[in-house]
Amino acid sequence: MVSGLCLWLVFSATVLGAMQYRADQGRLYDDLRVRLANGTAPLGATTSGTPVALLNARGAGIRDAVVVEGTSSVQTQKAPGHRRNTPLPGQPGVSVLLGRGTTYGAAFGGIARLDAGDVITATTGQGDFTFVVEGVRRAGDPLPALLPFGGSRLSLASTEGASLANGLRARGVVYVDAILKGTPRLPSSTRPSAIPANEDLMAGNRSAVLPLLLWMQALLVVGCAVAWAQARWGLWQTWLAAAPALLLVLWAAATSAAQLLPNLF
């Protein structure tokens, strides 16, 4: 049973997670499009989960990826996340975006393929911004040069090297730095000086423990109900009726369990 649950977790995070990611991206894209058309897209600090930008990077396979506010594992399951204590793309300073490299759509799974000179574009409520990649770096590599006064940089971060062949073990975190080509725009409000621990790089969401326990209890109840019904109705009748409920509970439990894993995985 433990092995089966582990295999289900992997299947849910990779296959079903990709389906869930695309569905969430479609909903977020519609939301952002309405906000941009009405001029209500965020220009500064906003609530977690709110769509804030549209990202494109052809060299990394990123096409119309909606970026949301917040970088907890709950947010990165749905979209690349904007670190809330950094400016939005196109504003003065270093804007940091975190995205998953393996599971739930692997939005940033290809950023290591970017080369110096490649173009990344971001669309926010302040317009379209073009960034030119400065380089790709990993742990131990030198940091990019300091920004000039009023300059703007975009930094993407994700994991790399994880696959089913190596047991989903990532080699580490990869970063891509890109400098704004053009004039940055000022934000409409100040940013928080600090963020919760569950939004840090490679952090998990500990608050997902309680939902996971509740879903595991629901799984136990469904399992007992299936055993009771099978003894009275028969094998095929029971599984025909119980399969949708069982899959729903398993999917919800796996989603909560995945939120305990690092937000870039």
Q: What pLDDT score does 162 carry?
A: 63
CA gap 204, 76 in Å, rounded: 11
Q: Pick from 203, 197, 207: which is nearest to 261 by CA?
A: 203
Q: What pLDDT score does 169 carry?
A: 64
Q: Is residue 240 part of a domain?
A: no
Q: What pLDDT score does 230 carry?
A: 85
Q: Is residue 143 part of a domain?
A: yes
Task: State the CATH number of the domain containing residue 131.
Answer: 2.40.260.10
Q: Is residue 66 part of a domain?
A: yes
- CA pseudo-torsion sign 33, 34, 38, 42: negative
Q: Is residue 183 part of a domain?
A: yes
Q: What pLDDT score does 96 carry?
A: 97
3-state secondary structure of 97: strand
Q: What pLDDT score does 4 carry?
A: 73
The DSSP secondary structure of 174-238, one letter per residue, reads EEEEEEESS-----SSPPPS---GGGSTT---GGGHHHHHHHHHHHHHHHHHHHHHHHHH-HHHH
Q: What total number of domains does the chain contain?
A: 1
Q: Which residue has the tokens 């299936």?
A: 226
Instruction: Give pTM, 2 decimals.
Output: 0.90
Give the list of residues 6+ apart from residue 129 with CB closer than 8 angstroms, or none.
89, 90, 121, 122, 123, 152, 180, 182
Question: pLDDT digit of tens for each residue in the chain (265 aa)?
Answer: 677 777 888 888 888 899 999 999 999 999 999 999 999 999 999 999 999 999 999 999 999 999 999 999 999 999 999 999 999 999 999 999 999 999 999 999 999 999 999 999 999 999 999 999 999 999 889 999 999 988 999 999 999 876 555 556 667 899 999 999 999 999 988 888 889 999 999 999 999 999 999 998 998 898 888 888 888 888 888 888 888 888 889 889 889 988 998 999 8
The DSSP secondary structure of 128-146, one letter per residue, reads EEEEEEEEEEETTSPPPPP
CA gap 174, 102 in Å, rounded: 13
Compute φ and ψ for 168, nearest 5 degrees: 60, 35
Strands 152-160 and 93-98, sheet pairing = parallel
Q: Is residue 166 part of a domain?
A: yes
Angle between helices 235-258 and 17-38 (to 10 degrees): 60
Q: What pLDDT score does 1 carry?
A: 66
* Number of Cβ within a 10 Å radius of residue 204: 19
Q: What pLDDT score does 168 carry?
A: 61
Q: Is residue 104 part of a domain?
A: yes
Q: What pLDDT score does 180 carry?
A: 97
The amino acid occupying position 197 is A
CA gap 70, 244 in Å, rounded: 32
Q: Pick from 177, 180, 160, 156: which is nearest to 168 by CA?
A: 160
Q: What pLDDT score does 166 carry?
A: 55
Q: What one-character DSSP code corresponds to residue 100?
A: -
CA gap 71, 236 in Å, rounded: 44
Q: What pLDDT score does 165 carry?
A: 58
Q: Which residue has the tokens 């949301």?
A: 68
Q: What one-character DSSP code corresponds to residue 147?
A: P
* Residue numbers of the domain that contains 151: 18-202
